[in-house]
Amino acid sequence: MRRSGGYSLGRPLREITLGQVVRAMQEPIYVRGCLAEPEPCPREHACALPAHWQALQGQIGAFLDGTTLADVQRGRRPFQPGDSGNNAFSRRENDRR
């Protein structure tokens, strides 16, 4: 912790993802509690959405792990459904080239 308050980062902003920050500050994020359980959900047979919840869970993880603090600092807008390459993910790929 810094003397004036707050935290000092040990790595550059471009090397720290939102996913790393979220995991360091709190428990993992689950869109549905059943995804956090090690055993299959007892209502799985009656639920029409397990694959959709899992897909959404994957998208949230990809977003958090694909967005760096540098992206946030630069004001890069997050990925929006229907985007065609105009998002932080594709720009980061282009930045690496």
Give residue limits of the domains in the chain: 13-96
| pLDDT in single tens digits along all 97 residues of the chain | 556 777 788 999 999 999 999 888 887 777 777 777 777 777 777 777 777 888 888 888 888 998 999 999 998 876 665 565 544 555 554 454 3
CB 19 within 8 A of CB 64: yes
The pTM is what?
0.64
Q: How far is CA 57 from CA 10, 12, 35, 73, 96, in A?
A: 29, 27, 8, 25, 27
Contacts of 61 (CB under 8 A, 6+ apart): 19
Query: Which of 13, 12, 20 minimizes the C-alpha distance to 70?
Result: 13
